Structure 1
Amino acid sequence: MSNLVNVPNNRGLAKTNSNSNFPSLSNWLDDVFNRDLPSVLTSNFNTGITLPKVNIKETTDAFEVEMAVPGLKKSDFKLDVDNDVLSISTEITEEKEDKNDHYTRREFGYSSFKRSFTLPESVDDDKIEAHYKEGILSVILPKKEEAKQKSARRIEIS
């Protein structure tokens, strides 16, 4: 029990014992069982891959997109270009079954993501290339010839 000091309306001090700041056992149990399960308890349920991080770099000849997606195979990816939008996606379904004399255990999971990028008009979408190596998906978006930066040159005065 705590000793709290209350100030009554007549400005005098009155010493009282009170537990009003602590919830009762029944209130505490109601609070615990009526709230959503914390993510720590639900972490065994696979809700999918989070969106992978992307680096985009512009060079003289192209835009380079790098996406960190370790643990996948190049066959897991689907790249599409439609109406000047590049979409990179993956869908993975995993199922495991372990049979024993006394039990059968099945585990399954599903993971997916999709990232879409609007391509600038300067990209030659017929020449897009993609490579996957050591967990990094690299997509090269070459620029059209007329959009490439020309190197600086000196003009002679006649």
Structure 2
Amino acid sequence: MALIKYSRPNVDLHSKNFSDVLDEFFNESLNYHRDSFMPSVDISETETEFEVSVALPGMNKEDINVDLDNGRLSISGERKLEQEEEGKNYHRVESKFGSFNRSFQLPDSIDEESIEAKYENGILNITIAKREEKVKKQIKIN
């Protein structure tokens, strides 16, 4: 078997800040040793709600926990490594496995009773409505 130098796909070091490269290096090395991973999260806002999307491919919704406590949204779970099959040799495993926990402090303007979570096609989508009295109003000037 020949050894081939591995280069990570989609990594362009020239377009990154030096501090970003260092952060990525140290965060990845720490996560590797702790049997954990950090899923990608996108948070957006509309006039009426906050939207949180978490990339969790290959997981079952039963293995994901979503909690809201005192305005802090916590998303946790565990992705388990499949059992090795007899006669199957892995040459490379780039998928991340282990436990994860992400937490975000939400603003006071949310309606805690309105939180909804849906898991579809490996993406966890969480929507949290804003309270009506806190929604930004446009004031017309006479």
Determine if the TM-score, normalized by the shorter chain, exceeds 0.5: yes
Mark the structure with the bigger radius of gyration: 1
2:46 counterpart residue number: 59
Change (3 A) 1:135 1:93: closer
Whole-Å separation in 2 of the counterparts to 1:71 and 1:136: 10
Q: Which amino acid aligns with 2:99?
A: S
CA contact (8 A) 2:59 2:79 kept: no
Task: Say which structure is richer in strand.
Answer: 1
Whole-Å separation in 2 of the counterparts to 1:77 and 1:153: 45
Offset at residue 124 of structure 1 (A): 0.7
Offset at residue 129 of structure 1 (A): 0.5
Q: What are structure 2's unaligned runs of at least 5 residues? A: 1-31, 87-96
SS of 2:78's equivalent in the other structure is strand
Matched, 1:69 2:56: yes
Offset at residue 111 of structure 1 (A): 1.2
Offset at residue 149 of structure 1 (A): 2.4
Whole-Å separation in 1 of the counterparts to 2:53 and 2:37: 16
Q: Deviations over 1:39-70 (max 9, x none)?
A: xxxxxx98534211111111000011111111
Task: Say which structure is richer in helix.
Answer: 2
Whole-Å separation in 1 of the counterparts to 2:73 and 2:99: 17
2:114 counterpart residue number: 127
Matched, 1:115 2:97: no
- The within-5 A match list for 1:77-92 is 77-92=64-79
Matched, 1:48 2:35: yes
SS of 1:75's equivalent in the other structure is helix
Offset at residue 96 of structure 1 (A): 3.7
Q: Which amino acid aligns with 2:60?
A: K
Q: Which amino acid aligns with 1:127?
A: S
Task: Pick 1 or 2: higher relative contact order, CA cutoff 8 A, min separation 6.
Answer: 2
Whole-Å separation in 2 of the counterparts to 1:134 and 1:59: 23
SS of 2:128's equivalent in the other structure is strand
CA contact (8 A) 1:85 1:117 kept: yes
CA contact (8 A) 1:64 1:138 kept: yes
Question: How high is the TM-score relative to the length of structure 1?
Answer: 0.55
Matched, 1:136 2:123: yes
